Structure 1
């Protein structure tokens, strides 16, 4: 890798991180402001607006610092590997600290204003239980629970095939591939290495599958003022989320299979397949972010639910409620879903990826 290639790869990624963090509050919907439940009519009140501007200003400063680090590592130290990791990590850590600071200030400001403003918090509407809607939602979830198994099963069968043909695998196997698909790092073959690669990819496939399903199962919030339209809208978005999860699953499993086949043959990965799958994942993730931004769950008038309670969130980003059976709930800050670490399944789901990564690195 040379300086130009390092910048061509790393700078756009860093800029994308900057854009996503800069507009994170906008993607968060109209129910929470920097992780705090708040009537969206007050998002643009001077005190809150000032905090929003401060977050964006310091996010920009963080980007400039990270970009400077990128240039230093590339042009002065010629440390191309470090340049592709450290500036991004620095920016993410810096931005998290910045978010926590703004979150705490919003929390204090809300407490200060609440005694004098009766409608500062979200309106606590009654819970809406519509059995017909629940039946329709469960049908969609069940449909995608079956469809999303297909790419996982195919990847698993490929993994079993690779293990069954272990003796035909070359004595030297590739462990890393470049942007053009060429292998650029190698290791001696051993059964435990091949087995750990297969298990790692299958387990990540399982995690992706479960994350997709539990996200679809997450709580839906109907608009009590427009029940019928709200039900239709929620079912439409649920189905669209199912389609995007399917595309993400397919893209990830194609990458896994491509790597498994290259490992088995001791060869390069197919660059066309590599980039096609990568583009599918990126475009689908962007579209899913848009869907989440437009989701009825994030509307101001969506019904109030237990996860709207500030006291059940750690720093406005970690949901901890043992009394809520939901494993996944909507994020408060940003687009997507987060885990309820208050449940046993949530705790397992939270730590499982870290265990897989550690074990994989240990065995490989």
Structure 2
């Protein structure tokens, strides 16, 4: 089971990392803004192909190596976990090095070819998007929190009947492999972590709805539809993640309270099903939506616009990954390399939304 879980993760990671250049907007190449008239540059296409090919090759080697060691019973379970983590981090490390290299090469080529210097740079914002926004209201994200609070109340009511040792970690087979002594804090610690994660999802959805919509200057109508669809699908994806986390954590909590609540088969199947659904949903989201909705097809025809390009804000993107702009009120912005959102590191509220909950979760885990 452990081997299967890590193999699924490694295969998924390899495919996603190798496909990233094809999931992004054509006007953003390795974190660099490219004018629409230059997006078909052959050199840029070569960079993307090399990145994907090397990432895929490294991933394939990792898959074969891990499968040989794991399925060949060369390693004990503990070493299988360590090996699986090493393989995944190796794939991420190689892809990161490749990204940085091609980010530098793309930046140099843009400067050398003087792309965009003779074009008028404009920023187009959709001021009417709030009336068309189909993102889920944040109150919907708060509903799972009510379930968690209900489980906390129920746990307290069952405190005397709970075992003396409370599980704090579950292995790949779904069975608890770490415990702590029962006390009023330890019996609800798992639910407190869940509550923090749910709160973080509420905050992310709320502030994502408030973030600005930047349209493509040369494809305004198409990009408007894609942007709105991107926000809608992102909201639904986050809500699905929240629901799945609530089910998984709630299940583990109920098995702690009632040892006979689920058999060993269910303990193994549910976490595996959770992983598979998350991986499939992530893949569907990435390949259907793409960066900023770039893979969403529309039947809208944009008027031909020449002589302009999007405002170049590369100066605010450190290495094309970290967005730092104190003058931008948006807390969340689209990733430049990857699908989804990242925080504006120039806005301190972003730190509170992401880093704050992580610190709380760390403190809760440390106190167990």
Structure 2 SS opposite 1:90:
helix
1:152-177 Cα offsets, whole Å, 9 max, x none, are 22123212332443332110223333
The equivalent of 1:63 in structure 2 is: 59
Residues of 1 paired with 2:75 and 2:362: CA distance?
Answer: 29
Per-residue deviation, 1:273: 4.9
Q: State the match for 1:107 in structure 2.
A: 107
Q: Paired residue for 1:46? A: 42
- Measured at CA, do residues 204 and 17 of structure 1 come closer, stay the same or move farther in structure 2, by a change above 3 Å? same
Contact between 1:30 and 1:39, CA under 8 Å: does it hold in 2? no
Let me know the Cα RMSD of the aligned residues: 3.3
TM-score, normalisation: structure 1: 0.82
Residue 171 (1) aligns with residue 132 (2)? no
Question: Any residues of structure 2 matched to 1:142-153 within 5 Å, and which?
Answer: 144-153=137-146
- Cα deviation, residue 298, structure 1: 7.9
2:229 and 2:57 mapped to 1: Cα distance? Answer: 40
2:323 paired residue number: 319
How many angstroms does 1:227 deviate by? 6.0
Q: Where do residues 182-193 of structure 1 align in structure 2 (5 Å cutoff)? A: 182-193=175-186
CA contact (8 A) 2:180 2:186 kept: no
The CA distance in 2 between the partners of 1:101 and 1:183, in whole Å, is 43
How far is 1:151 from its partner?
1.4
Q: What number of residue pairs does the alignment pair up?
A: 351
In structure 1, distance between residues paired with 2:288 and 2:57: 29
Equivalent pair of 1:218/1:330 in contact (CA under 8 Å): no
The separation in 1 between residues aligned to 2:172 and 2:85, in whole angstroms, is 16
Contact 1:152 1:209 (8 Å CA) reproduced: no
Structure 2: how far apart are the matches of 1:258 and 1:120?
60
Distance 1:90 1:268 in 2: 40
1:356 aligned partner: 360
> How much does 1:26 deviate?
1.1
1:251 to 244, 256, 267: 244
Partner of 2:80: 80
8 Å CA contact 1:209, 1:249 repeated in 2: no
Q: Mind listing any 5+ residue stretches in structure 2 that lack a counterpart? A: 297-301
Task: Name the residue aligned to 2:7.
Answer: 11
Query: Who is 2:283 aligned against?
Result: 286
Q: 2:22 aligns with which of 22, 26, 32?
A: 26
